[in-house]
Amino acid sequence: MRALLGDVRLLASPAFGVGSSLLDVAPELVDRRSDLDALRAGRMHALEIGLVRRESSDSGRFVWAQTVAVRDAGGSLTGVIHMLAKATALGARWEAIEAQRREVAELRIRIAQLTMDVALAQGELKRLDDAKSQFVSAAAHEMRNPLASLIGYLELMETEDVRNLSVTQRDSLDGISRSAQRLRLLTNNLLDITRIDFNRLELLMGKLDSLDLVEQALGEMQPLFDSKHQRIIIKADPHLPEIWCDRLRAMQILINLLSNAHKYTPEGGTITVQVGPQKGQPMLCIRVKDNGIGIPVEDQFRLFTRFFRASNAGSEDGAGAGLGLAITQALVRLHGGKMWFESKLGKGTTFFVTFPVAG
């Protein structure tokens, strides 16, 4: 198949002349031999090649190529016209698109690699976190037995006649007892954390009178409130519905909130407990409000983080480990409720917890 040349600037090699092979001057047709055969046989009228880059003739020049069969009135093939049109602007856009495609492909490869790295890192972190939780659980269990014995002996000593002890000795005994109780609380908290992490904390759900729950919790806390001459106010809506909860864990939630209110409310302060339905939801809301030291704004977003304590908490309670609120929030969520708070520095804090209403 021979070529009849026009504007040779568009060809692959302008050195070719009349009678040159079409495949020599239009190398884009080399891989389209079967289509050319179909064109000559009449099975195809035109062959659309599309955008072609002419590197050898004019670097950077693009052309749009099309090959058309020419036939006489009887339908016999008389020739083939290979048409080229300048497409420099289109070629530039195509190059930009191809560059973007290459960049996207490279980014996909990098993202895939990073995703794999993140997955491996997450797996390793999960393994380390599980190992940590197992260690904490084992350590807490190991501490429970000797701690229970220590507290038992202390309680036995306190029931004996201590009149022969000096004031210093009695104070020392009280100090040991308080430290043992704090250590028992920490041990129980660590065990609760590991149970929550491994989804091993089971709830024994049932119907419960919310006001009875609040009054029982306040009764347990009353000696501590009395020690600081704190005033307790209860506000409850009439005809409160029963709630669906685990009595032991619901009591733990309220004790934790009341304990915090007691710790961070000054002597002679006021603690208010309000019980009522949550508007627009089948939930009952319990609010524990104090007029204590409040929580600094910069600490509020981390308040439910494990082992975190607000920057102003140390002055009021040096014994806390920063686990109480994290455990309390987890217990509330396990009940299907929510927990949040409002606080102003120096003005006090209000904690809100909701429990589902028993059906």
Give yes or no for a contact between 291 and 265, defined as CB atoms under 8 angstroms apart. Answer: yes
Q: How far apart are CA 65 and CA 186, in angstroms?
A: 81
The pair of three-digit structure tokens given for residue 240, joined into one six-digit string: 């409160």
Tens digit of pLDDT per residue, the chain (359 long)? 554 544 555 555 555 555 567 777 778 888 888 888 888 888 888 888 888 887 654 445 788 888 888 888 888 888 888 888 888 888 888 888 988 999 999 999 999 999 999 999 999 988 888 887 778 778 877 887 788 888 887 877 777 666 677 788 778 888 888 888 888 888 888 888 888 888 888 899 999 999 999 999 999 999 999 999 999 999 999 889 999 999 999 999 999 999 999 999 999 999 999 999 998 899 999 999 999 999 999 999 999 998 888 888 765 555 567 889 999 999 999 999 999 999 999 999 999 999 999 97
Q: Are strands 243-246 and 231-236 parallel, antiparallel or unpaired?
A: unpaired
Q: Are strands 339-344 and 348-356 parallel, antiparallel or unpaired?
A: antiparallel
Query: Which residues does 248 contact at the CB level (< 8 Å), separation at least 6?
Result: 204
Rounded CA separation 274/211 (Å): 10
What domains does the chain contain, in order, with CATH numbers? 8-86 (3.30.450.20), 109-197 (1.10.287.130), 205-356 (3.30.565.10)
